[in-house]
Amino acid sequence: MPLERSFGVLLHPTSLPGPWGIGTLGPAARAFLDWLATAGARWWQVLPLGPTGYGDSPYQAFSAFAGNPYLIDPGRLQQKGWLEEAPPPIHAERVDYGWLYRTRWPLLRKAYAGFQKRATPEEKAALEAFVKAEKGWLEDYALFMALKDRFDGKPWNQWPPELRSREPQALQQAKEELAQEVGFHRWLQWLFYSAWAELRAYAEAQGVGLIGDMPIFVAFDSADVWAHPEYFHLDAAGQPTVVAGVPPDYFSEKGQLWGNPLYRWEAMEEEGFSWWIERFRQALRLYHLVRIDHFRGFEAYWAVPFGRPDAVEGRWVKAPGEKLFRAAEAVLGKMPILAEDLGVITPEVEALREALGFPGMKVLQFAFTGEENAFLPHHYPAHGNVVVYSGTHDNDTSLGWYRTAPETERAFLRRYLAREGIRCLAEQEVPGALAELALKSPARLAILPLQDLLGLGSEARMNHPGRPEGNWAWRYPAGALSAELAQSLRALAASHGRV
């Protein structure tokens, strides 16, 4: 997909400031879009928006289709008259997911009761229309979440056998008994999708596009696996037989054991990849561009036998590759996709990406091991149809990376920047220097994490791959996005033809 020369900023909505303990799709999101427009940015990239569970990772959501209720702005519920009393403001520097779990769900249930009592006929009709339009995924998801609450959060394969195996009579009885809770989760999804649609329209009015992030795999404890066990490698008890991960790499000497169940691609192909087509369709409703995480898994994926302690013991298994994307294109047309092609990349993976015309990724933090490193900007293809990042959500911030990098890489970085005419005399200048290198590069699209634009260190890191706790919590403080920073960024981007 050809991209205009432009740049964007990587920031998950949970990292927005505000009074609710977590960033939401409320006023702070619009203020961020205003700031991006002032800075000349054409793109806002987010992480996956699904409802998170244990571990709080947006890459392990309860649904591949649903939105995260934590992103709903309680202030909007007050304005609608559905929430009579809001909690006191909590301007937390980091997201406390445990506190959020204890306090936000009761708050949202109060608001739902208020909606049931005081909603206008037009609001109730809008909810009904949403429920009807999204029935294909929403009914399974709403019942899944209601059952999880009934069974104290246990994964679906620990529910009673008749519900685990989705016996029709048991499902019908559960829907009737849990009608209030099912309705609550439908309502939450209506709120999320309505808020996101408004935010997308606001972004378009500001000249800013939204880049989403689609994980290739889904969580085991999700409505997707419960509703469609035939699409996954599971045993008779609903336990995965093989799970996803990646072999040892830059991030971990024992690889990364993600634990997601793996697809039975042959079953999906027999049905024309219909589940994937609907997933792509939904993503294109939400975003203007879709980054597919772990794109190489569509060519071949790392399969680890279930129960292993790490990802060392695995094997590569072929995936359907081009057949899947051609089937989706036949229904949806050419899709605006960015391919995350990091990790163990083979000629077959590169051939797949090139055949589909998807831009790949370059990460500058990986670049400074020597002159032959493909992540150095002078090695980018002449057509520039790639996306360059100073770092990603899985990297340390650029300042944190520089402080812990081997001296050989630090010295090479300094030499390379000097050769490119970019000033970097002190470590505090490294984030700005890498941002300038990305903007100057031949890549058509440059994405800069907000942490790097703010010059922050490791305290602002979003994720530590392989570490199960303490991730996804960073927030930037109110007032951090100054007009001066926007103007200097705009001037720098303009000097490199990106505004």
H-helix or E-strand spanning residue 289? strand 289-293
3-state secondary structure of 463: coil
Contacts 24+ apart (CB under 8 A), 28-34: 28/478, 29/199, 30/199, 30/202, 31/481, 32/481, 33/199, 33/202, 33/203, 33/206, 33/208, 34/206
The amino acid occupying position 279 is: R
Helix (H, G, I), strand (E, B) or coil at 265: helix
Of 56, 181, 394, 396, which residue is the catalytic one? 394
Within 13 Å of residue 451, how many CA atoms lie on the same side as its CB?
25
Asked if 176 is an active-site residue, the reply is no
Helix (H, G, I), strand (E, B) or coil at 448: strand
Q: Tell me the angle at which helices 179-205 and 27-39 cross, rounded to the nearest 10 degrees.
A: 20
Helices (H), 2-62: 27-39
* Annotated active-site residue in 340, 341, 396, 436: 340
Q: Is 340 a catalytic residue?
A: yes
Report which of 449, 444, 343, 341 is spatially closest to residue 386, judged by C-alpha positions.
Answer: 444
- Whether 299 sits among the annotated catalytic residues: the reply is no
Determine phi and psi for 100, rounding to 5 degrees. -60, -45
CA distances from 344 to 187, 291, 296 (A): 42, 18, 8
Q: Which of 56, 213, 293, 396 is catalytic?
A: 293
Q: Which DSSP string corresponds to 86-102? A: PPPPB--SB--HHHHHH
- By residue count, the chain amounts to 499
Is residue 175 within 8 A of residue 262, CB to CB? The reply is no
* Angle formed by the axes of helices 430-440 and 407-419, nearest 10°: 50
- The secondary structure element, H or E, covering residue 146 is helix 135-150
Residues 278 and 141: their CA atoms lie apart, in Å, by 15
Catalytic residues: 293, 340, 394
